[in-house]
A and B are shown apart, each in its own frame.
Chain A
Amino acid sequence: MLRLVLIALWLSLLFLPFRGLKDSLILFVILSVSFISFRYLGTSLRSLRITMQPSGKRIYAKGIALFRLRGSRYVVLLILLGLPFFLENYVLDISILTGIYAILAMGLNVVVGFTGLLNLGYVAFYAIGAYTYALLYAKIGLGFWVSLPLCIGLTTLSGFVLSVPALRLRGDYLAIVSLGFGEIVRLILNNWDSLTNGPNGISGIPAPSVLGFPLGGLNRYYYLILFFVILTYGVVKRIRFSRIGRAWMAIREDEICASTMGIHTTMYKLYALSFGSLWAGLAGALFAAKMQFVSPESFTFMESVLILCMVILGGIGSLPGVVVGAFILIMLPEVLREVQSYRMLALGVGLILMMVFRPQGLLGGPGSGSGQ
């Protein structure tokens, strides 16, 4: 206690020659109070954590058990199908965005959550998907459904091409290379004026239609997105519970051990990165068709971080978890729009509390979803 006061005194003495006695005194008081309160905050946080964790675990166990009830998925589906009848356009718009991000988060979850490869440039694949559709339309006039397979194919291919050199690296180094890749793609889009129209972006991209039935309206686009979210969920889940998914998990847990079980670790990491970027291609095309406009601004590093946050918040490796994570991280800033500049602060505090009380994420944790 005395030590803290002395540190505060010393720091404020440093300021004495510059700011005068009055300011230094104020600084001294502020510093000593904050030091001491931080000390107490630390201890009380620790005890709070100890008392809170068991009850938090109980509540979660119940919540997750409810989530895993057999019929619950149909209830969720029914609610999601009925939403456009109750929501105003603004909320529906946000829901569509949530869906696109849910696809992205599920895709990144394959790479980060299942296989344990930290990819900080995921947004690059999102951008490639979006720009492929935009350019195919703007240059050759291809429609959405023709472009979609090409978008997905090209994105998967670029995921594959990136991974070949990157897989010589592990852990943090891979993260840095992927971060670099993300920036390279954004800079190319920004500077290749003749092809991508640079920072001005490409506009006038049409929404898809099915058999001459346009899907441009919010209501209809919502259902299209919902379809793709469910498709993504189903495919990723089935892969997760096959030998491929198990091999990914094994690589995440212990690479050397996985290889002594007969898993070709390099190949499976390649699969994971390609399969993960596939969904970014899908989401990119959907995003371009939704916004009817793409520009490099939408694909900054912060987007990668946001998608990664969804995966971490929802629970690394847990599929329902990352969907919930996408929902929270897209909805929360909108809900907090009232308090404007404090919303990022609230988000930050939320993430920190998350790390303190539930580091494995909302729905994550050992054995999450492994019961099938």
Chain B
Amino acid sequence: MYLLEVRGLTKHFGGIKAIEDVSFRIEGGSIASIIGPNGAGKTTLFNCLTGITKPTKGSLYLSGTDITGIPSHKIVGLGIARTFQNIRLFREMTVLENVLISQHLKISTGLFGTLMKDNAFLSKEKAAREKALEYLGFVGLCDAAHVPSLSLPYGGQRRLEIARAVATDPVLLLLDEPTAGMNPQETGEIMEIIMRLQKLGKTILLIEHDMKVVMGISETIVVLDHGVKIAEGAPGAIKKDQMVIEAYLGRQEHAQA
């Protein structure tokens, strides 16, 4: 069984066809990428997958269960977490608190216990904190746990977003341009984090523009253009695909005339 199956996904915004009949499947434990020019519908696809927008048509399956149209706060519980293209941290909160929030569904402290600060509450909070520090350690942000997240440097903010998503303990992790605006060294660090995540058994779906990242780590690539899937396959095949080249570089119509 495939971990994620997208069947005939269609999303229209009024007259604009953001996504038109896109289908693909992703195997568990793999790293897959979605690429395509700007406006191809990649982020809309992510929004549909995480329940932020409801698809117009089509269905989504996670490990065989239908997750189409489930609201986003429930999707997280089913095991899909994401990061955002334009970083969306809880800016005024500390780095640690950011990661604590994503454990929202895991901490179950009763109201009475919270008010009394009883032992169950304290131990659960402590466990959550330790877990959060663990996740921060995973992306190398342990030392910055108590600074406000808006004071992190850009690369740190990206890594915090990943840590926060991973802390929801997802099976499928959606990363929306995790290396946008980064220098080669920072990009390398992110790639390394992604590969370590795969070793932990996470399935990763990337949106990425940096071809070095895409070709370097992904096992399958889905190419979207104007909301339509134009190619799917291994990196080697995608590189040579005529449709993909045209989508990126334009058509050579009158060249051979």
Q: Which residues of A contact B (CB under 8 A)?
A: 235, 238-239, 242-244, 246-247, 249-250, 253-254, 256-265, 317, 366-367, 370-371
Contact = CB atoms under 8 A, between A and B. Distances in A.
Nearest to A267: B73
Interface in B75-111: 75-77, 81-82, 84, 88-94, 97, 100-102, 104-105, 107, 109, 111
Interface in B29-77: 50, 52, 71-77
Nearest to B116: A238
A262 B77 contact: yes
Contacts of A250: 90, 93, 101, 104
A250 B73 CA distance: 13
A371 B104 contact: no
Interface residues of B, number: 40
Interface of B: 50, 52, 71-77, 81-82, 84, 88-94, 97, 100-102, 104-105, 107, 109, 111, 114-115, 117, 121, 125, 146-148, 150-151, 164, 168
Given A254-B88, A257-B90, A260-B50, A246 B76 contact: no
A263 B104 contact: yes
6 contacts: A243-B107, A246-B104, A247-B104, A250-B101, A261-B76, A367-B93
Contacts of A366: 91-92, 148, 150-151
Given A242-B121, A250-B101, A367-B148, A260 B81 contact: yes
Contacts of B72: 256, 259-260
A366 B98 CA distance: 13
Most B CB within 10 A of own CB, among A235, A249, A254, A257: A257
A160 to B, nearest CB: 16
A152 to B, nearest CB: 15
Interface residues of A: mostly helix, strand, loop or mixed? helix
A238 B50 contact: no
Contacts of B151: 366
Nearest to A253: B90
Given A243-B107, A244-B114, A258-B90, 12 more contacts: A238-B115, A242-B125, A250-B90, A254-B89, A256-B72, A260-B50, A262-B77, A262-B102, A264-B73, A366-B91, A366-B92, A367-B146
A247 B90 CA distance: 11
B163 to A, nearest CB: 12
Contacts of B76: 260-262
Contacts of A371: 94, 146
Contacts of B117: 238
Contacts of A265: 73
B97 A370 contact: yes
B23 to A, nearest CB: 24
The 3 closest A-B pairs by CB, nearest first: A262-B76, A366-B148, A253-B90
Contacts of A256: 52, 72, 88
